[in-house]
Amino acid sequence: MHPNANPFNPGAGSPPHTLAGRDAEVTAITTAIERSELQRGANGIVLHGLRGTGKTVLLGRFCEIASDRGWIAVRVEAAASTSATFAEQLVTRLTPHMLRLDRPSAGERVKRALGAFKSFSLSVGLQDVSAGIEVDPRHLLSYGTSIEHSLPDMLRTLAEACAETRTGVLIAVDEMHDLSRADLRALLAVGQEANESRAPLLLCGAGLPALPRLLSEARTYAERFFEFRAITWLDKADARRALVAPVEALGESWTQDGLEVILSSAGGYPYFLQHFGRAAWNVAAYSPISANDAVAARRLGFAELDQGFFHIRWERATGAERSYLRAMAVDGDGPSRSGDVAQRLGKPASALSAIRTRLIDKGIVYAPARGRIGFTVPGMATYIRRRDEQE
């Protein structure tokens, strides 16, 4: 079967042909949007889970649903590797929407929203971005350099303007765990402002499993502003649908044995379902995709993962960091106790804290709880053991 027609797409954040197993999250955001339009109040949704489980795809879907209803919906990535600050990214993403609102017939609420946005842009040092937005000086506000007050005020003012047309504002923040404490507190203030004002303003986010803890540490009552949802592996029925539906949509099929081989290889992990599904399609000369095709695809798929997906993370680690990862791999996908890792390396845990922090900053591991450490992707422990056996 021709690779150009391959329906599987394992790219980072790339929407799959079939978004299987996430109906509950799609229903939840649709309900929240509808309640917000009626000014009945609704919490935003925070997605947390390992990398490759589809959190970014879901955030994109949330924005798509809101946009289809006429909302202003923007997605911002808070990754540590991004040079622009969170506030700068948000202003840049919102600017095209604000330019569309800036028209002679704009009402008073829209004019106030434009003034608040321009004031916020100036406060974060982006004078040029909002230069094309004409604002009456009386609508400019004296925002300080701290965004904990200015961000919620600006977004609430914008949401109130949208409410006149029964729409709203949805802000989706990816890699939320990488935000600074100040930015997290500002976003939590946005959630509080939305709850208290009942303006049609929804804040959603996604991050690693430690994200709920980070939010509660930034502000103790964070759980009141969000609905937290763990995004994990798909059960077998949903995993099967993720593999079967894209193939059948193109008039092709699987043999039962071939499908079982790929299901077993992927283990319900969304990224692996796309990865091994793509390999199986490319290997198969014709439909249906057989067990022999699937076995060859499994071999090819793991080789590609070892050379790319896992290898890239391994190469980013220094020699000392790799020793730490090897000690973690004893526990499989974990998580591991930091004390156990230190004992295996024959050092006190305090002597390894800098290594642990560097691995967290590189996105290779995360801290699900105090004294615990885990890999951010499944299968990393098996890769490390497999690699050591080959050397």
Interhelix angle 23-37/55-68, rounded to 10 degrees, is 40
Token pair 């029964």: residue: 166
Q: Name 378's Cβ contacts closer than 8 Å, sequence gap at least 6.
A: 50, 52, 267, 269, 333
Q: What is the token pair recorded at 333?
A: 């996908």
Distance CA 289, CA 284 (A): 6
Residue 3: closest CA among 282, 367, 230, 245: 282
Cα 31 to chain centroid distance, Å, stands at: 20
pTM: 0.89
Residue type at position 60: G
Sheet architecture: strand order including 372-375: 336-337, 372-375, 365-366
What is the pLDDT at residue 219? Answer: 82
User: Over its length of 391 residues, how does the chain's per-residue pLDDT go in tens digits?
Assistant: 888 999 999 987 789 999 999 999 999 999 999 999 998 889 999 999 999 999 999 999 999 999 999 999 999 998 665 667 888 899 999 999 998 888 777 788 999 999 999 999 888 887 777 667 777 777 888 887 788 889 999 999 999 999 989 999 999 999 999 898 888 999 888 888 888 888 999 999 999 988 998 888 888 777 788 999 999 999 999 999 999 999 999 999 999 999 999 999 999 999 999 999 999 999 999 999 999 999 999 999 999 999 999 999 999 999 999 999 999 999 998 899 999 999 999 999 999 999 999 999 888 999 888 899 999 998 999 999 988 877 6
What is the pLDDT at residue 223? Answer: 79
Q: List the beta bridge partners of residue 227.
A: 45
What is the pLDDT at residue 170? Answer: 97
On whether the CB atoms of residues 1 and 285 are closer than 8 A, the answer is yes
What is the pLDDT at residue 80? Answer: 60
What is the pLDDT at residue 206? Answer: 96
